A and B are shown apart, each in its own frame.
Chain A
């Protein structure tokens, strides 16, 4: 392990040119994420969160600026260069899952590990572990179309973690989950983070964001805040006394 950051983005800009007017979605973002760090990206809808995280995963091309992953310049890579890099180093959870419709849940989750060269037995064991952690052990043989939105989203997370990637990127990974399923996802994120997983995720959910070491806030395509979530000042030993306020 080195001190090279896992992610380094320098003055990253994205201007969409689809309609008549150019849309500046990300306007000069600088971001560094060290190995083992967990960074939450927050911000109003339309502030550029998805665009930023897509660029970091090579799923959207940048307009200008630099992206370095694990010490290697990545923004200049070709599409196939990015594909290789993603297969080797990045797990990506899309806002809208993107599972392979013609494959079972189990195969969807095992595929990245197999593509990454893992022996089949190891891929299967990892898949069983991840689906178990996410309460999906009994859905392994289902096809994605038979799953609810929340189940598909958890499968997408399992798939992204199958390969124990250098970097996990996730765009609103609990957006479709109810409270109990969110708890399963939180527990798994907490576990892999403790094991050293580097995580950058976009979320509106304060429970998810509160797992992070750092929060990055976007507004109108710019990073307006980037810093650690502080230790709370009134940390009582046994229980939090002010969940409810006593009135006499």
Chain B
């Protein structure tokens, strides 16, 4: 979330609540609605690192509000983040660990684990399909995010099938 907040602040200064709303508008229902506390914690850390600063703006009849803006250091950090290649998907998969280690625990056999996991993946896929159906067709960002999640899930299922073929 650090980088998303920096990117939003690179466009214009904003206070915490505006940042929350901007994230919601851009990513739609595909994005977990960020909790305002989390946003302020992250802003606090960014400020400590010198990436953003804040000013208190007085408001009539209301407490002051804190407006954040990006610093030169923050802009540099943001540029580095945008330009460096992004890590590939995770290489350590929790389910795979369970699968490999299951026979040692004597608790569950691999076949049962794999079958349960397949049904679980399909249940997740059903959620994603329903979410895509409920998403505003004009929100390309949210739909692409959902499509990405579906493609990852498909890859997980294909991998599961390979495990089922090759693990004794």
Q: Which A residues have a C-beta under 8 Å from some C-beta of B?
A: 42-44, 179, 186, 204-207, 209-212, 215, 217, 219, 224-225, 227-232, 235, 238-248
Contacts and interface: CB of A to CB of B under 8 A. Distances in A.
Contacts of A240: 29-30, 127-128, 131
A244 B149 CA distance: 8
B72 interface: no
Interface residues of B, number: 43
A235 B150 CA distance: 17
The secondary-structure label for the interface of chain B is helix
Interface of B: 1-2, 27-34, 38, 41-42, 45, 111, 115, 118-129, 131, 134, 145-147, 149-150, 153-154, 157-158, 161-162, 164-165
A232 B123 contact: yes
B126 A229 contact: yes
B29 A207 contact: no
Nearest to B32: A241
Contacts of B127: 232, 235, 240
Name A's interface SS. Answer: loop
A162 B157 CA distance: 33
A207 B118 CA distance: 13
Contact of A210 (B28, B42, B125, B162): B125
Given A232-B123, A240-B30, 11 more contacts: A42-B161, A210-B123, A215-B118, A219-B164, A224-B111, A229-B123, A239-B134, A243-B128, A244-B149, A245-B32, A246-B34
B153 A206 contact: yes
Nearest to A183: B132
B146 A227 contact: no
Contacts of B34: 246
B29 A43 contact: no
B165 A44 contact: yes
Contact of B131 (A219, A231, A239): A239
Contact of B115 (A224, A235, A245, A247): A224
B126 A210 contact: yes
A242 B2 CA distance: 18
A241 B33 CA distance: 7
Contacts of B29: 238-240
For the complex of A and B, the 5 pairs showing the least CB-CB separation, nearest first, are: A239-B29, A210-B125, A225-B115, A241-B32, A210-B126
A244 B125 contact: no
